[in-house]
């Protein structure tokens, strides 16, 4: 049974972050978006929820929001259709203010390829491709 995975990211500038994710190919679902949150849909099973800091804090109880420019909080991996699609995703992210790097894992690109892509707030996505027979 397939469900939907919702990844929640705190963002400093909701409109700027929404534009960044739209440039990457996510589509905003306006029904679940407002001045505090933008629902960004990759496909029917994977959404990224961009939340203003004030709104995000409501879910934390006694915790603080991590400064993901300085510390890692999570690596969110998802698959794409090819190594080229992963490279294109990274190039678009860089063009729109994100940062990208490739971790060399000793696996040939013809078998697996992935990138670490940080958004404007330092939240990390891991687009990847694997040759699955």
Q: Let me know: does 121 contact 11? Beta carbons within 8 Å.
A: yes
Tens digits of per-residue pLDDT, 59-92? 998 899 999 989 988 999 999 999 999 999 999 9
Tens digits of per-residue pLDDT, 9-57? 999 999 999 999 999 999 999 999 999 999 999 999 999 999 999 999 9
> What's the token pair of residue 96?
């729109």
The pLDDT of residue 9 is: 96
CA–CA dist 43, 54 (Å, integer): 27
Q: Given pLDDT bands bounded at 50, 70 and 90, which one contains residue 132?
A: confident
Tokens 């915790």, residue located: 63
Q: Which domains does the chain have, with CATH numbers?
A: 5-61+68-130 (3.10.180.10)
């Amino acid at each position: 049974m397939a469900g939907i995975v919702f990844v929640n990211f705190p963002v400093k500038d909701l409109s700027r972050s929404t534009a960044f994710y739209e440039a990457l190919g996510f589509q905003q679902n306006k029904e679940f978006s407002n001045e505090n949150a933008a629902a960004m849909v990759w496909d029917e099973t994977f959404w990224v929820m961009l939340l203003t800091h004030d709104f995000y804090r409501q879910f934390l109880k006694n915790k603080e929001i991590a400064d993901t420019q300085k510390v890692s909080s999570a690596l969110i991996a998802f698959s794409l259709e090819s190594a080229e699609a992963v490279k294109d995703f990274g190039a678009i992210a860089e063009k729109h203010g994100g940062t990208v790097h490739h971790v060399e894992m000793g696996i040939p690109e013809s078998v697996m390829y992935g990138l670490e892509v940080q958004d404007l707030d330092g939240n990390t996505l891991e687009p990847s491709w694997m040759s699955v027979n």
